[in-house]
Chain A
Amino acid sequence: MKLQGLNSRGSVEQVMKEVKAQAGRNATPGKQSGLTAEIQSRIGHQLRAMYDDVVRQGVPDRFVELIRKLDVPKPDPQLGATGDPEKDGGS
């Protein structure tokens, strides 16, 4: 899946360190009004760090089991599939 490509980024901690380190090196941003490219990029980094940390956890077992269970075709009692034409309303 295309979305799986997101996995290649670093950990939250790593990204946060990079963001902090970069901010520390730069002159103080000051009381800027508006949205600079640098701040935009910082927000993007943090947003993706938060998101990708969850993506990297993969698929928890409960969801694998859920999909697997639903995979097995089973008779649906509500459809009245008893195999008995009379009970199934087929008179």
Chain B
Amino acid sequence: MPLTDSLRDDILASVPSLRAFAISLSGNGDRADDLVQETLLRALANIDSFQPGSNLPAWLFTILRNLFRSDYRKRRREVEDADGSYAKTLKTQPSQGAHLEFEEFRAALDKLPQDQREALILVGASGFSYEDAAAICGCAVGTIKSRVNRARSKLSALLYVDGAEDFGPDETVRAVIGGNGG
């Protein structure tokens, strides 16, 4: 369909989610924005192939996901988030304790196989149905379900099962308690 004003607005409205998806996949803010930019250019160049009334976010996510995967094959994840470049993209800087836990979560997410990570993000964070996520990833619905389950199990093992002692009161919790108790 032609690029109407409302379609352009809809594409712009998808940008925040596309960025979140790109950052979750790549773990790198700068690279994520390049991915989003390339996604938008591709989408606009191919706007005629978009079916009016179909799921625009899913269409855009599909483009981004495919770009990421072809890019990934070329240069792997050579830029890990060792310097906290992801955290720098955050407007609200978490406090020290929350920041540490956030980094742990980020690191655990990075340890997942790519198939599982993208499935978990699409379903668990982007809010896509299993059906939409399957269409975006070009696989069966059952495959998405099993990838999401395996992703959750692996994160659980990495973060909680072997690290139960991490959940004792720490700086963050004490700060909260202290703040409430006066």
Interface residues of A (CB under 8 A from B): 1-4, 6, 11-13, 16-17, 19-21, 23-24, 26, 28-35, 39-40, 42-44, 46-60, 62-64, 66-67, 70-71
Does B14 contact A3, Cβ atoms closer than 8 Å? yes
Does A1 contact B92, Cβ atoms closer than 8 Å? no
Does B173 contact A20, Cβ atoms closer than 8 Å? yes
The listed residue (A16, A26, A52, A70) touching B172 by CB distance below 8 A is: A16
The listed residue (B16, B105, B106, B168) touching A59 by CB distance below 8 A is: B16
The 10 closest A-B pairs by CB, nearest first: A16-B98, A51-B125, A54-B20, A23-B167, A1-B13, A55-B16, A13-B94, A3-B17, A24-B173, A59-B15
Does A3 contact B126, Cβ atoms closer than 8 Å? yes
Interface residues of B (CB under 8 A from A): 3, 8, 10-17, 19-21, 23-24, 33, 36-37, 40-41, 44, 57, 89-92, 94-95, 97-98, 101-102, 105-106, 109, 120-121, 124-127, 149, 152-153, 155-156, 159-162, 164-165, 167-170, 172-173, 176
Please report whether the interface of chain A is mostly helix, strand, loop or mixed according to DSSP.
Answer: helix
Does B172 contact A54, Cβ atoms closer than 8 Å? no
